[in-house]
Amino acid sequence: MKGLFWENMDIDLYLEPGELEELKHHILQTQLIWGHKREPVNKNLILRYGENNGTDGFDFKKIEDNKKRGWESILGYEVTINQWAYEHIIRQGHFGTRYDGENKITINDRKPPF
């Protein structure tokens, strides 16, 4: 899995062949990279499959260090998708939702464009 993080805080995840099926049995993890620069963001993203009541089948959480403030407090993100979102990814090849009201996350079942 590769994850692009854009300056507007949108996240694009790209799953390698077989990783979508693997997600049902294992947690996937990646180090996010900046979308334009292709340099590390120094933020992790954990993707898991499981039950949730989140918007569009996504549960999105920030992993934070309460001793720091702002951008520096964010250590990474944890995303859980349920069966409904999983099936949309299978049918459409991608699926996404908004988090924090304005930012979006999209999971693509294809190799990254880089």
Break the chain into its structural domains and give their ranges.
2-108
What is residue 82's predicted lDDT score, i.e. its pLDDT?
97
Contact 55, 98 (CB under 8 A): yes
Contact 100, 74 (CB under 8 A): no
Other CB atoms within 10 Å distance of the CB of residue 36: 9
Say yes or no to pLDDT of 4 above 90. Answer: yes
What is residue 17's predicted lDDT score, i.e. its pLDDT?
94
Give the pLDDT confidence of 45-71 residue by residue, as tens digits: 999 999 998 889 999 999 999 999 999
- Note the helical H segments in 3-82: 19-23
- Note the helical H segments in 1-114: 19-23, 83-92
What is residue 100's predicted lDDT score, i.e. its pLDDT?
85
Tokens found for residue 112: 């990254």
- pTM of the predicted protein model: 0.93
Say yes or no to pLDDT of 113 above 90. Answer: no
Which residue, 26, 25, 64, 58, is CA-closest to 44?
64
